[in-house]
Amino acid sequence: MALIFDVKVALYEAIRAAVPGGVQVTFAETGDTGRRKQVWLGATTDDDLTPAAMRVGPKPTNVTGYVEVQAVVIVPGSPVNAERAAYELRDYVKDACGAVNSNLAVVPGLQDVRPESSSVETAETTDGAFSALTLRVRVRGRVYQ
């Protein structure tokens, strides 16, 4: 379904607008480990495609899918500061989801975009403290085929 992809693009633009300067935002992972704060969009899935009605003509289909938002923060010193920065990035992504929700017309058929779950992993490395965030964003909509 193109709906999930179109929402992914809208979410990418909203995240770019929401994060402060100094945070690299990319559509896909770049592999550039030189950045201290970066956010990118990961896996996209169409989890549930359910026919919504039986009728002549275009058939409505309820779509539920997910977009994973990944973030990495590397800071000198404290793992506490790295994890705090990861949660700050999570809040920016939540704000971006709210921005997309406030203008559902940006993607035809979109009904809702919201963070569903997140996980943060923190460690100390030779470069400093490292924190990785994975935020699962649920997308719901209805398309006509």
Question: Which domains can be identified in the chain, with CATH numbers?
Answer: 2-144 (3.30.2000.10)
Residue 134 tokens read as 């994975």
Phi-psi region of 87 (alpha: psi -120 to 50; beta: other; left: phi over 0): alpha
d(CA 47, CA 92): 25
**Residue 7 has what pLDDT?**
94
Mark the ranges of the chain whose per-residue pLDDT is less than 50.
none
Locate the DSSP E strands across the chain: 24-26, 37-51, 60-75, 110-125, 128-144
* 100, 14 Cβ separation under 8 angstroms: yes
- Start-to-end Cα distance in the chain: 10
